[in-house]
Protein backbone atom coordinates (compact mmCIF):
# COMPACT_ATOMS: atom_id res chain seq x y z
CA UNK A 1 0.00 0.00 0.00
CA UNK A 2 1.34 3.44 -0.93
CA UNK A 3 2.36 5.45 2.18
CA UNK A 4 -0.07 8.26 1.30
CA UNK A 5 -2.97 5.84 0.90
CA UNK A 6 -1.99 4.13 4.15
CA UNK A 7 -1.95 7.44 6.03
CA UNK A 8 -5.37 8.45 4.78
CA UNK A 9 -6.90 4.99 5.16
CA UNK A 10 -5.61 4.07 8.63
CA UNK A 11 -5.53 7.38 10.50
CA UNK A 12 -8.98 8.95 10.81
CA UNK A 13 -7.79 12.14 12.54
CA UNK A 14 -5.13 12.76 9.91
CA UNK A 15 -7.71 12.07 7.19
CA UNK A 16 -10.04 14.70 8.61
CA UNK A 17 -7.24 17.24 9.04
CA UNK A 18 -6.09 16.61 5.49
CA UNK A 19 -9.59 16.77 3.96
CA UNK A 20 -10.36 20.02 5.79
CA UNK A 21 -7.26 21.51 4.22
CA UNK A 22 -8.25 20.26 0.77
CA UNK A 23 -11.66 21.89 0.95
CA UNK A 24 -10.57 25.23 2.40
CA UNK A 25 -7.59 25.56 0.03
CA UNK A 26 -9.71 25.11 -3.09
CA UNK A 27 -11.97 27.87 -1.80
CA UNK A 28 -9.02 30.10 -0.96
CA UNK A 29 -7.59 29.98 -4.46
CA UNK A 30 -11.00 30.56 -6.02
CA UNK A 31 -11.40 33.68 -3.93
CA UNK A 32 -7.83 34.89 -4.40
CA UNK A 33 -8.04 34.93 -8.20
CA UNK A 34 -11.38 36.75 -7.99
CA UNK A 35 -10.07 39.43 -5.62
CA UNK A 36 -6.85 39.89 -7.64
CA UNK A 37 -8.80 40.51 -10.82
CA UNK A 38 -11.26 42.76 -8.96
CA UNK A 39 -8.29 44.90 -7.87
CA UNK A 40 -6.90 45.15 -11.41
CA UNK A 41 -10.32 45.83 -12.96
CA UNK A 42 -10.89 48.77 -10.61
CA UNK A 43 -7.71 50.57 -11.60
CA UNK A 44 -5.23 48.93 -9.26
CA UNK A 45 -1.64 48.93 -10.54
CA UNK A 46 1.36 46.87 -9.42
CA UNK A 47 1.50 48.47 -5.98
CA UNK A 48 -2.23 47.86 -5.43
CA UNK A 49 -1.60 44.19 -6.16
CA UNK A 50 1.23 44.23 -3.63
CA UNK A 51 -1.09 45.80 -1.04
CA UNK A 52 -3.65 43.04 -1.73
CA UNK A 53 -1.00 40.39 -1.16
CA UNK A 54 0.06 42.17 2.03
CA UNK A 55 -3.55 42.27 3.23
CA UNK A 56 -3.87 38.56 2.51
CA UNK A 57 -0.66 37.54 4.29
CA UNK A 58 0.65 40.31 6.58
CA UNK A 59 -1.74 39.59 9.48
CA UNK A 60 -0.34 36.05 9.54
CA UNK A 61 3.08 37.53 10.16
CA UNK A 62 2.08 40.17 12.70
CA UNK A 63 0.02 37.77 14.80
CA UNK A 64 2.26 34.73 14.36
CA UNK A 65 4.02 35.12 17.75
CA UNK A 66 0.69 35.26 19.58
CA UNK A 67 -0.72 32.44 17.47
CA UNK A 68 2.30 30.28 18.26
CA UNK A 69 1.98 30.87 21.98
CA UNK A 70 -1.73 30.00 21.91
CA UNK A 71 -1.09 26.90 19.79
CA UNK A 72 1.32 25.70 22.48
CA UNK A 73 -1.07 26.46 25.33
CA UNK A 74 -4.58 25.60 24.12
CA UNK A 75 -6.45 22.82 22.37
CA UNK A 76 -5.22 22.98 18.76
CA UNK A 77 -8.33 21.26 17.41
CA UNK A 78 -10.58 23.91 18.96
CA UNK A 79 -8.45 26.70 17.51
CA UNK A 80 -8.79 25.23 14.03
CA UNK A 81 -12.58 24.87 14.23
CA UNK A 82 -13.20 28.37 15.57
CA UNK A 83 -10.83 29.96 13.06
CA UNK A 84 -12.50 28.26 10.10
CA UNK A 85 -15.98 29.35 11.20
CA UNK A 86 -14.84 32.96 11.67
CA UNK A 87 -13.06 33.04 8.30
CA UNK A 88 -16.17 31.72 6.58
CA UNK A 89 -18.36 34.47 8.03
CA UNK A 90 -15.86 37.17 7.07
CA UNK A 91 -15.67 35.82 3.52
CA UNK A 92 -19.45 36.12 3.20
CA UNK A 93 -19.14 39.80 4.15
CA UNK A 94 -16.41 40.18 1.52
CA UNK A 95 -18.75 38.67 -1.10
CA UNK A 96 -21.38 41.24 -0.19
CA UNK A 97 -18.84 44.07 -0.60
CA UNK A 98 -17.63 42.62 -3.91
CA UNK A 99 -21.19 42.59 -5.25
CA UNK A 100 -21.09 46.38 -5.02
CA UNK A 101 -17.67 46.64 -6.63
CA UNK A 102 -16.03 47.92 -3.42
CA UNK A 103 -12.49 46.61 -3.99
CA UNK A 104 -11.00 48.60 -1.10
CA UNK A 105 -13.55 47.22 1.38
CA UNK A 106 -12.91 43.69 0.14
CA UNK A 107 -9.18 44.20 0.73
CA UNK A 108 -9.91 45.44 4.26
CA UNK A 109 -12.05 42.39 5.02
CA UNK A 110 -9.34 40.12 3.63
CA UNK A 111 -6.96 41.85 6.05
CA UNK A 112 -9.22 41.00 9.00
CA UNK A 113 -9.70 37.46 7.75
CA UNK A 114 -5.95 37.07 7.51
CA UNK A 115 -5.67 37.99 11.18
CA UNK A 116 -8.02 35.14 12.07
CA UNK A 117 -6.22 32.76 9.73
CA UNK A 118 -2.93 33.47 11.50
CA UNK A 119 -3.97 30.97 14.17
CA UNK A 120 -4.45 28.14 11.65
CA UNK A 121 -0.87 27.58 10.43
CA UNK A 122 0.85 26.97 13.80
CA UNK A 123 -2.11 24.93 15.07
CA UNK A 124 -2.09 22.69 11.99
CA UNK A 125 1.68 22.26 11.94
CA UNK A 126 1.80 21.46 15.66
CA UNK A 127 -1.19 19.10 15.40
CA UNK A 128 0.29 17.04 12.59
CA UNK A 129 3.12 15.29 14.52
CA UNK A 130 0.75 14.71 17.44
CA UNK A 131 -1.84 13.10 15.18
CA UNK A 132 0.77 10.94 13.48
CA UNK A 133 2.56 9.90 16.67
CA UNK A 134 -0.46 9.27 18.92
CA UNK A 135 -2.56 6.50 17.45
CA UNK A 136 -4.70 3.66 18.75
CA UNK A 137 -2.68 0.46 19.20
CA UNK A 138 -3.32 -2.96 20.60
CA UNK A 139 -1.19 -4.31 23.41
CA UNK A 140 1.13 -5.92 20.86
CA UNK A 141 2.02 -2.52 19.39
CA UNK A 142 -0.11 -2.86 16.30
CA UNK A 143 -2.74 -0.46 15.12
CA UNK A 144 -6.41 -1.24 14.78
CA UNK A 145 -5.83 -2.57 11.28
CA UNK A 146 -3.32 -5.16 12.49
CA UNK A 147 -0.35 -3.34 10.92
CA UNK A 148 2.89 -2.40 12.60
CA UNK A 149 3.08 1.28 13.43
CA UNK A 150 5.19 3.01 10.77
CA UNK A 151 8.36 4.89 11.56
CA UNK A 152 7.39 8.29 12.94
CA UNK A 153 10.03 10.26 11.02
CA UNK A 154 9.05 8.58 7.72
CA UNK A 155 5.38 9.23 8.46
CA UNK A 156 6.14 12.94 8.93
CA UNK A 157 7.90 13.15 5.57
CA UNK A 158 5.11 11.20 3.86
CA UNK A 159 2.39 13.30 5.50
CA UNK A 160 4.05 16.60 4.62
CA UNK A 161 4.67 15.41 1.08
CA UNK A 162 0.97 14.52 0.79
CA UNK A 163 -0.07 17.88 2.25
CA UNK A 164 2.23 19.73 -0.14
CA UNK A 165 1.09 17.70 -3.14
CA UNK A 166 -2.50 18.35 -2.10
CA UNK A 167 -1.71 22.06 -1.91
CA UNK A 168 -0.49 21.77 -5.47
CA UNK A 169 -3.64 20.01 -6.70
CA UNK A 170 -5.96 22.42 -4.92
CA UNK A 171 -3.89 25.33 -6.24
CA UNK A 172 -4.27 24.04 -9.79
CA UNK A 173 -8.01 23.40 -9.43
CA UNK A 174 -8.70 26.61 -7.52
CA UNK A 175 -6.67 28.88 -9.78
CA UNK A 176 -8.05 27.37 -12.98
CA UNK A 177 -11.63 27.45 -11.67
CA UNK A 178 -11.09 30.95 -10.31
CA UNK A 179 -9.96 32.16 -13.71
CA UNK A 180 -13.05 30.61 -15.31
CA UNK A 181 -15.47 31.93 -12.67
CA UNK A 182 -13.93 35.41 -12.91
CA UNK A 183 -15.89 35.85 -16.13
CA UNK A 184 -19.03 35.98 -13.96
CA UNK A 185 -17.53 38.32 -11.37
CA UNK A 186 -15.96 37.73 -7.94
CA UNK A 187 -19.11 37.14 -5.87
CA UNK A 188 -19.67 33.50 -6.83
CA UNK A 189 -16.05 32.61 -6.09
CA UNK A 190 -16.17 34.32 -2.69
CA UNK A 191 -19.42 32.59 -1.71
CA UNK A 192 -17.86 29.23 -2.58
CA UNK A 193 -14.78 30.23 -0.58
CA UNK A 194 -17.00 30.98 2.45
CA UNK A 195 -18.74 27.62 2.13
CA UNK A 196 -15.38 25.84 2.06
CA UNK A 197 -14.53 27.18 5.51
CA UNK A 198 -17.80 25.85 6.90
CA UNK A 199 -17.19 22.39 5.46
CA UNK A 200 -13.64 22.40 6.84
CA UNK A 201 -14.93 23.18 10.34
CA UNK A 202 -17.43 20.30 10.15
CA UNK A 203 -14.66 17.91 9.10
CA UNK A 204 -12.43 18.97 12.00
CA UNK A 205 -15.11 18.79 14.70
CA UNK A 206 -14.89 14.99 15.41
CA UNK A 207 -11.09 15.02 15.88
CA UNK A 208 -10.11 14.35 19.52
CA UNK A 209 -8.79 17.24 21.60
CA UNK A 210 -5.15 18.11 20.90
CA UNK A 211 -4.05 19.83 24.09
CA UNK A 212 -0.28 20.47 23.97
CA UNK A 213 2.13 18.76 26.33
CA UNK A 214 2.73 20.91 29.41
CA UNK A 215 -0.19 23.20 28.63
CA UNK A 216 -1.19 23.35 32.29
CA UNK A 217 2.19 24.15 33.79
CA UNK A 218 2.09 27.73 35.04
CA UNK A 219 1.11 29.14 31.68
CA UNK A 220 -1.82 31.34 30.62
CA UNK A 221 -4.78 29.75 28.89
CA UNK A 222 -6.53 32.92 27.76
CA UNK A 223 -5.83 35.16 24.79
CA UNK A 224 -5.03 38.02 27.17
CA UNK A 225 -2.60 35.86 29.08
CA UNK A 226 -1.02 34.68 25.84
CA UNK A 227 -0.32 38.27 24.81
CA UNK A 228 1.32 38.94 28.17
CA UNK A 229 3.52 35.85 27.90
CA UNK A 230 4.29 36.26 24.20
CA UNK A 231 7.75 37.80 24.47
CA UNK A 232 8.97 35.26 27.00
CA UNK A 233 7.56 32.23 25.23
CA UNK A 234 8.66 33.21 21.71
CA UNK A 235 12.14 33.92 23.04
CA UNK A 236 12.18 30.47 24.62
CA UNK A 237 11.23 28.88 21.30
CA UNK A 238 13.97 30.71 19.40
CA UNK A 239 16.54 29.82 22.04
CA UNK A 240 15.50 26.19 21.66
CA UNK A 241 15.98 26.35 17.86
CA UNK A 242 19.38 28.04 18.13
CA UNK A 243 20.75 25.05 20.04
CA UNK A 244 20.37 22.88 16.92
CA UNK A 245 21.70 24.39 13.62
CA UNK A 246 19.68 21.90 11.56
CA UNK A 247 16.47 22.94 13.31
CA UNK A 248 17.35 26.63 12.98
CA UNK A 249 17.89 26.18 9.23
CA UNK A 250 14.58 24.31 8.91
CA UNK A 251 12.68 27.12 10.66
CA UNK A 252 14.03 29.82 8.32
CA UNK A 253 14.56 27.81 5.11
CA UNK A 254 11.39 29.05 3.40
CA UNK A 255 12.11 32.77 3.82
CA UNK A 256 14.63 33.32 0.98
CA UNK A 257 12.31 31.69 -1.55
CA UNK A 258 9.41 33.68 -0.10
CA UNK A 259 11.22 36.97 -0.78
CA UNK A 260 11.69 36.01 -4.40
CA UNK A 261 8.20 34.53 -4.61
CA UNK A 262 6.47 37.67 -3.32
CA UNK A 263 8.16 39.80 -5.97
CA UNK A 264 7.60 37.10 -8.55
CA UNK A 265 3.88 37.09 -7.80
CA UNK A 266 3.73 40.76 -8.85
CA UNK A 267 5.50 40.03 -12.13
CA UNK A 268 3.35 36.97 -12.85
CA UNK A 269 0.11 38.93 -12.36
CA UNK A 270 1.30 41.80 -14.52
CA UNK A 271 2.51 39.50 -17.30
CA UNK A 272 -0.88 37.76 -17.30
CA UNK A 273 -2.75 41.08 -17.35
CA UNK A 274 -0.57 42.96 -19.85
CA UNK A 275 0.86 40.30 -22.16
CA UNK A 276 -2.03 37.81 -21.96
CA UNK A 277 0.14 34.98 -23.29
CA UNK A 278 -2.56 32.32 -23.01
CA UNK A 279 -5.69 34.21 -24.01
CA UNK A 280 -7.51 36.60 -21.69
CA UNK A 281 -5.91 38.02 -18.55
CA UNK A 282 -8.05 35.78 -16.32
CA UNK A 283 -7.26 32.62 -18.28
CA UNK A 284 -3.54 33.47 -18.49
CA UNK A 285 -3.33 34.11 -14.75
CA UNK A 286 -5.26 30.94 -13.93
CA UNK A 287 -3.13 28.72 -16.18
CA UNK A 288 0.23 30.17 -15.12
CA UNK A 289 -0.66 29.81 -11.46
CA UNK A 290 -2.03 26.33 -12.08
CA UNK A 291 1.20 25.21 -13.76
CA UNK A 292 3.21 26.64 -10.89
CA UNK A 293 0.92 24.65 -8.62
CA UNK A 294 1.68 21.46 -10.56
CA UNK A 295 5.36 22.13 -9.84
CA UNK A 296 4.69 22.43 -6.12
CA UNK A 297 3.23 18.93 -6.30
CA UNK A 298 6.21 17.49 -8.17
CA UNK A 299 8.72 19.15 -5.83
CA UNK A 300 7.73 17.25 -2.66
CA UNK A 301 7.87 13.94 -4.55
CA UNK A 302 11.37 14.74 -5.81
CA UNK A 303 12.50 15.94 -2.39
CA UNK A 304 11.13 12.85 -0.66
CA UNK A 305 12.83 10.61 -3.25
CA UNK A 306 16.20 12.26 -2.65
CA UNK A 307 15.83 11.87 1.10
CA UNK A 308 14.86 8.21 0.66
CA UNK A 309 18.09 7.67 -1.29
CA UNK A 310 20.12 8.94 1.64
CA UNK A 311 20.73 12.51 0.51
CA UNK A 312 21.21 14.88 3.48
CA UNK A 313 18.32 17.26 4.03
CA UNK A 314 20.70 20.23 3.78
CA UNK A 315 21.76 19.21 0.28
CA UNK A 316 18.16 18.68 -0.81
CA UNK A 317 17.27 22.15 0.49
CA UNK A 318 20.18 23.65 -1.49
CA UNK A 319 18.95 21.97 -4.68
CA UNK A 320 15.39 23.18 -4.06
CA UNK A 321 16.51 26.77 -3.44
CA UNK A 322 18.63 26.78 -6.59
CA UNK A 323 15.76 25.50 -8.73
CA UNK A 324 13.13 27.78 -7.23
CA UNK A 325 15.04 31.06 -7.16
CA UNK A 326 16.75 30.34 -10.49
CA UNK A 327 13.44 29.71 -12.25
CA UNK A 328 11.97 32.91 -10.82
CA UNK A 329 14.92 34.90 -12.15
CA UNK A 330 14.43 33.40 -15.61
CA UNK A 331 10.62 33.70 -15.68
CA UNK A 332 10.39 37.19 -17.20
CA UNK A 333 13.27 36.88 -19.69
CA UNK A 334 10.84 35.90 -22.45
CA UNK A 335 7.09 36.29 -22.94
CA UNK A 336 6.69 33.19 -25.10
CA UNK A 337 3.97 30.98 -23.57
CA UNK A 338 6.15 27.82 -23.50
CA UNK A 339 8.94 29.67 -21.70
CA UNK A 340 6.58 31.15 -19.15
CA UNK A 341 4.93 27.78 -18.49
CA UNK A 342 8.27 25.94 -18.18
CA UNK A 343 9.82 28.42 -15.75
CA UNK A 344 6.61 28.62 -13.71
CA UNK A 345 6.69 24.82 -13.42
CA UNK A 346 10.31 24.72 -12.19
CA UNK A 347 9.58 27.64 -9.85
CA UNK A 348 6.91 25.48 -8.25
CA UNK A 349 9.16 22.40 -8.10
CA UNK A 350 11.82 24.25 -6.10
CA UNK A 351 9.30 25.89 -3.78
CA UNK A 352 7.44 22.64 -3.14
CA UNK A 353 10.57 20.65 -2.33
CA UNK A 354 11.82 23.41 -0.04
CA UNK A 355 8.52 23.48 1.84
CA UNK A 356 8.11 19.78 2.50
CA UNK A 357 11.73 19.05 3.45
CA UNK A 358 12.08 22.02 5.79
CA UNK A 359 8.68 21.45 7.43
CA UNK A 360 9.23 17.74 8.02
CA UNK A 361 12.69 18.42 9.44
CA UNK A 362 11.34 21.06 11.81
CA UNK A 363 8.55 18.76 13.03
CA UNK A 364 10.98 15.87 13.47
CA UNK A 365 13.60 17.82 15.44
CA UNK A 366 11.36 19.96 17.67
CA UNK A 367 9.62 18.83 20.86
CA UNK A 368 5.84 19.10 21.03
CA UNK A 369 5.98 21.74 23.77
CA UNK A 370 7.61 24.29 21.40
CA UNK A 371 6.22 23.12 18.06
CA UNK A 372 3.51 25.77 17.86
CA UNK A 373 5.95 28.60 18.51
CA UNK A 374 8.49 27.32 16.00
CA UNK A 375 5.77 26.83 13.38
CA UNK A 376 4.61 30.39 14.07
CA UNK A 377 8.18 31.70 13.76
CA UNK A 378 8.49 29.86 10.45
CA UNK A 379 5.21 31.43 9.32
CA UNK A 380 6.25 34.87 10.57
CA UNK A 381 9.57 34.84 8.74
CA UNK A 382 8.10 33.38 5.54
CA UNK A 383 5.14 35.72 5.40
CA UNK A 384 7.13 38.85 6.17
CA UNK A 385 9.63 37.89 3.48
CA UNK A 386 6.85 37.35 0.95
CA UNK A 387 5.10 40.61 1.78
CA UNK A 388 8.32 42.64 1.74
CA UNK A 389 9.27 41.08 -1.60
CA UNK A 390 5.86 41.96 -3.05
CA UNK A 391 5.80 45.53 -1.72
CA UNK A 392 9.34 46.35 -2.81
CA UNK A 393 8.83 44.66 -6.16
CA UNK A 394 5.52 46.42 -6.72
CA UNK A 395 7.01 49.80 -5.81
CA UNK A 396 9.93 49.24 -8.20
CA UNK A 397 7.63 48.36 -11.09
CA UNK A 398 5.45 51.39 -10.32
CA UNK A 399 8.55 53.56 -10.83
CA UNK A 400 10.15 51.77 -13.79
CA UNK A 401 7.03 50.36 -15.53
CA UNK A 402 8.97 47.14 -16.24
CA UNK A 403 7.21 44.08 -14.83
CA UNK A 404 10.36 41.95 -14.90
CA UNK A 405 12.18 44.24 -12.47
CA UNK A 406 10.13 42.94 -9.54
CA UNK A 407 11.06 39.28 -9.94
CA UNK A 408 14.69 40.03 -10.79
CA UNK A 409 15.13 42.07 -7.65
CA UNK A 410 13.33 39.44 -5.57
CA UNK A 411 15.45 36.61 -7.00
CA UNK A 412 18.67 38.50 -6.27
CA UNK A 413 17.70 39.23 -2.66
CA UNK A 414 16.43 35.67 -2.20
CA UNK A 415 19.69 34.17 -3.45
CA UNK A 416 21.78 36.38 -1.17
CA UNK A 417 19.52 35.52 1.78
CA UNK A 418 19.82 31.80 1.11
CA UNK A 419 23.61 31.95 0.99
CA UNK A 420 23.68 33.96 4.22
CA UNK A 421 21.39 31.44 5.97
CA UNK A 422 23.47 28.49 4.78
CA UNK A 423 26.71 30.06 5.97
CA UNK A 424 25.22 31.08 9.32
CA UNK A 425 23.94 27.58 10.12
CA UNK A 426 27.15 25.94 8.87
CA UNK A 427 29.15 28.24 11.15
CA UNK A 428 27.04 27.20 14.15
CA UNK A 429 27.59 23.56 13.25
CA UNK A 430 31.37 23.96 13.17
Q: pLDDT tens string for the chain (430 positions)?
A: 677 788 888 889 999 999 998 888 888 777 777 677 666 666 556 666 677 667 767 777 778 777 877 888 788 999 999 999 999 999 999 888 888 877 778 878 888 888 888 888 888 888 888 888 643 333 333 333 333 344 555 677 788 878 877 877 777 777 777 767 766 777 888 888 899 999 999 999 999 888 877 555 555 555 565 556 666 767 788 888 888 889 999 999 999 999 999 999 889 988 988 889 888 887 787 788 888 888 988 898 888 889 888 888 889 999 999 999 999 999 989 999 999 999 999 999 999 999 989 988 898 888 888 888 888 788 888 988 988 998 899 899 989 999 999 999 999 999 999 999 998 887 666 5
Q: Which residue, among 99, 131, 100, 103, has the nearest Cα to 18 in the 3D structure?
A: 131
State the pLDDT at residue 148.
Answer: 38
Please name each of the domains of the chain with its CATH number.
3-429 (1.20.1250.20)
Distance of CA 151 to the CA centre of its chain: 26
Contacts of 229 (CB under 8 A, 6+ apart): 69, 219, 220
State the pLDDT at residue 144.
Answer: 35
**Three-state SS string across 299-330, please?**
HHHHHHHHHHCCCCHHHHHHHHHHHHHHHHHH
State the pLDDT at residue 430.
Answer: 53
The pTM of the full predicted model, rounded to 2 decimals, is 0.70
State the pLDDT at residue 52.
Answer: 67
Amino acid sequence: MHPWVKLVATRPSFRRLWLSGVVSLVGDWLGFVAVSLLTVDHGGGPFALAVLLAAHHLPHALLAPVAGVIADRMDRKRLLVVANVAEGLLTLVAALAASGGHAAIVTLIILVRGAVGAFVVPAESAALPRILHVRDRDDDGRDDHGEDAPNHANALVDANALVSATWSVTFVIGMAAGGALAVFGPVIALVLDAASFGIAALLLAPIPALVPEGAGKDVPRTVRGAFAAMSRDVGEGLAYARRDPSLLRAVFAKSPLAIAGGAGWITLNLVAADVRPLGTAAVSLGILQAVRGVGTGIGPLAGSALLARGQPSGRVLHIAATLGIGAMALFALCNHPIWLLATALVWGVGSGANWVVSTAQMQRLAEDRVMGRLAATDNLATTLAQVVGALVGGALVAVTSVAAHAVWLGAAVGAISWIALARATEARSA
